[in-house]
Amino acid sequence: MGKNRALIRRFGTFNGVFVPTILSIFGVILFLRLGWIVGNAGLINALFIIVLAVSISLATALSLSAVSTNREVGVGGVYNIISRSLGLDIGGAIGIPLYFSQAISAAFYIIGFTESLTGIFPDMNTKIIAFLILIIFSLIAFIGADFAVKIQIGIFGILIMSIFSFLIAPSWSPLKMNLSPHYMSGQSFWSVFAIFFPAVTGITAGISMSGELKNPQKNIPRGTLLAIAVSFLVYVAIACKLTAVTSFEVLQKDKLVMVHRSLFPPLVYAGIWAATLSSALTFVVGAPRTLQALAMDRVVPSILAHPLGSGKNEPRAGIILSFVIASLFIYAGTLNGVATIISMFFLLTYTITNLAQGLSALVGNPSYRPTFRVHWMISFAGAAASYSVMFLIDTPSTIVASVLIALIYVFLKRRELNQTWGDIKSGFWTSLARFALLKLDQYELDPENWRPNIMVFSGDPAERPYLVKLANWLSRGNGIVTLFNILRGDVEELHKERFKKLNELRGFILQNKLPIFPEVEIINESVEGISAIVQAHGIGQLYSNVVLFGWGTDSEKKITLARLARNLVLLKKDFLILKYDKTREFGNYKTIDIWWGGKGGNGSLMLLLAYILKLNDEWRNAKVRILKVVADESLREDAFRRITELMESARIEAEPVILVRENPGESVVGLLSEFSVLSDLTIIGMGLPLRGREEKFVERVDSLVSPLGTVLLVRSVNVKELI
């Protein structure tokens, strides 16, 4: 393993980052389009274009430098950084277009090289020459990156001499006519900017070799930032010189103006060829490495990472695919057209890269400790500038590119790719939750904003899924549900069992895709233990206000529940008990009966719970009946009117049913059995047991619910008035 690593980590700051980056920046645009840009935009606007483009690339380079000094950067360069910061779904959504833009860039620089040949050989078939060069470079990449890097060092020397050949040539008399813009038909500031921008996309060239750098955390910041500084000065110097050599008409038409106005034209030709070919070679070598990283993470088929017999793990399968993509653009593309496509994809990549660093710095996870620190505002400014420029260049293309990225993200999200590293998303949501909780704590909760945040003491939910189902229905009003499994005993004896049960609870929630939180607690005594849990559960104003239990068959547990009821009411918790009929279950979801004692007691909460149930698809067509018992016939009409008016003011649909107790001694149990025996869910208000009379309370409850199907007992503390 160590031997393979030594073979891979073989490049330093100069040869691994600075040289490939500077060669990519000093490419087609410098020699073949900068004169055209100055001729159209004029010197002042051309300098502004250079400053704007370099500012965006600088902000991105700073972001890349910060992220790359926080953790080891592996194969894939920019993709590796984004995926390890924002996750495989977002990383893959950007990595796939990034790979295509890098493969297309190879075609872009080869097209630029062949265009320069027409100045010497005007009748040459440039397509054939371009294909031959692509084949040769792909073979070089097949041999290995070592050979490509050695070639680039020599090319770098030629390039520097060619630049000086132009800069030191006579004629340094700035022409005033070249200071202001003279746009050709169909051109504007932003269309010219789009042609120039590929010049600064070279900052990713060195980073794409990250998996083979000796020390990426030092090599990437030093090499990239130095390349940006040097290239900025050279672009400004050459733009100024171009205004002094000829008129804007010549600059617009003569693509080889730097050759024709240099001290030694053959040297500039050599520089053009060196710059374009070296840039092409950089992307021929770099693009397959991005694809290799995507394949290793299973974002794309793993076969695309196959070395095909390479002893140094060269991404030969990716080289073949990159050759095919570049060939298509060589056949169909023009230099300006390909430049615009590259600009859009790289700008989108820059946007996400800056967001990754900005969010990492803003969220401030303890694990984010870059040695090269960049303020989050710089990264966010870079992201905003990158995305805004996309719209200014071509709004429809920006929308299409954004939709494409979104579709790839959705596809990868559904694949649920596993990753063995953490990303910023959990930290982001944690920071957002903290911000929201602190904001919420500044306000006193208004009763009108009440919603059920439910603690469900379900035990093993697989044994009592009906409790989970009811809680999930009641949280339809955007409440929060927590499932509790209680273990009785000592922490020392049960701590391992607790984590086992917690994992089982999480598995149940994930398997059933429930928007619910799991919790397992160890207590010694039920009443005091559960009372303590209820008090401690929640943060700030976001606490549980409803407690739900099941009404089983064990008499001792029922008595314990009766004792617990007094504590929960004192703790201001609404208290629900579900008696579930395992034979009838929730019936046909057609009828909900509410036995009404008045809105001042439990009535308001009972009615609100019925309303929330009807928001769910299963209960949507259910009929809600409000059953009210009166002492004699003379009270029927007034009771009906009061309940009807209450329903109208509360904006809740329900049918009042007024029952007259014909015999003053008639039991409520008899009325319940007669009128609600066929109901799918019966909701009944619940009193509190007196201390020492818990057994009588249990007997009373059993007598009420035993003749019926599924029953929900309600004790309200918080909801006294209907909204």
Cα separation, 52 vs 293, whole angstroms: 31
What pLDDT score was predicted for residue 7? 39
User: β-strand 574-579 against 711-715: which pairing, if any?
Assistant: antiparallel
By the 8 A CB rule, do 84 and 306 touch? Answer: no
Cα 256 vs. chain centroid, distance in angstroms? 46
* Amino acid, single-letter form, for residue 563: R
Distance of alpha carbon 412 from alpha carbon 419, whole angstroms: 12
Q: How many CB atoms lie within 10 A of CB 625?
A: 20
DSSP one-letter code for 544 = -
CATH fold label, 2-426 = Amino acid/polyamine transporter I (1.20.1740)
- The residue among 558, 480, 504, 479 whose CA lies nearest residue 526 is 558
Task: Please tell me the distance from the alpha carbon of residue 340 to that of residue 718, in angstroms, as a whole number.
Answer: 62
239: tokens are 């733009």
Can you tell me the distance from the alpha carbon of 56 to that of 510, in angstroms, rounded to the nearest whole number?
42
What pLDDT is attached to residue 1?
Answer: 37
**Separation CA 329–CA 333 (nearest Å):** 5
To which residue do tokens 């097209």 refer? 111
Residues in the chain with pLDDT values less than 50: 1-7, 723
**Residue ranges of domains in the chain:** 2-426, 447-715
Is residue 258 within 8 A of residue 35, CB to CB? The reply is yes
- Let me know: does 244 contact 279? Beta carbons within 8 Å: no
Q: Facing residues of 579 across strands?
A: 711
d(CA 299, CA 83): 11
**Residue recorded with tokens 């505002």:** 377
> Residue 450: what residue type?
W
Helix (H) or strand (E) run with residue 713 in it: strand 711-715
Three-state SS sequence of 287-340: HHHHHHHHHHCCCCCHHHHCCCCCCCCCCHHHHHHHHHHHHHHHHHCCHHHHHH
Distance (Å, rounded) from C-alpha 542 to C-alpha 539? Answer: 5
Task: Give the pLDDT score at 591.
Answer: 92
pLDDT of residue 665: 63
Nearest residue to 141 via CA among 27, 23, 310:
310
Bridge partners of 714, per DSSP, are 576, 685
Question: How many whole angstroms separate alpha carbon 517 and alpha carbon 471?
Answer: 12
Which residue has 């989970």 as its token pair? 468
Strands (DSSP E) contained in 560-669 are 574-579, 591-596, 623-630, 655-660
For residue 185, give the 3-state DSSP assignment.
coil
Assess contact for 20 and 205: CB atoms under 8 A: yes
Q: Using CA atoms, how far apart are residues 681 and 705, in angstroms rounded to an integer?
A: 11
**Tally of CB atoms within 10 A around 129:** 16
Three-state secondary structure call for residue 242: helix
Residue 234 Cα to chain centre, angstroms: 39
Q: How far apart are CA 547 and CA 545, in angstroms?
A: 7
Q: What is the total residue count of the chain? A: 723
Q: Is 716 exposed, middle or buried (0-12, 13-18, 19+ CB in 10 A)?
A: buried
Place of tokens 């929201």: 436
Q: Is 518 helix (H, G, I), strand (E, B) or coil?
A: strand
* Residues linked to residue 682 through DSSP beta bridges, in sequence order: 593, 711
* H or E segment and range at residue 392: helix 376-393
Q: Report pTM.
A: 0.68
288, 319 Cβ separation under 8 angstroms: yes
Q: How many CB atoms lie within 10 A of CB 367?
A: 11
Place of tokens 């008639």: 666
Q: Which helix (H) or strand (E) holds 455?
A: strand 454-457
Per-residue CA distances from 312 to 306, 315, 452, 509, 563 (Å) = 12, 9, 61, 46, 73
CA distance 250 to 292: 45
Level-2 CATH architecture, domain 447-715: 3-Layer(aba) Sandwich (3.40)
Residue keyed to tokens 């607790």:
498
Give the separation between CA 485 and CA 505, rounded to whole angstroms.
8
Distance CA 64, CA 410 (A): 25
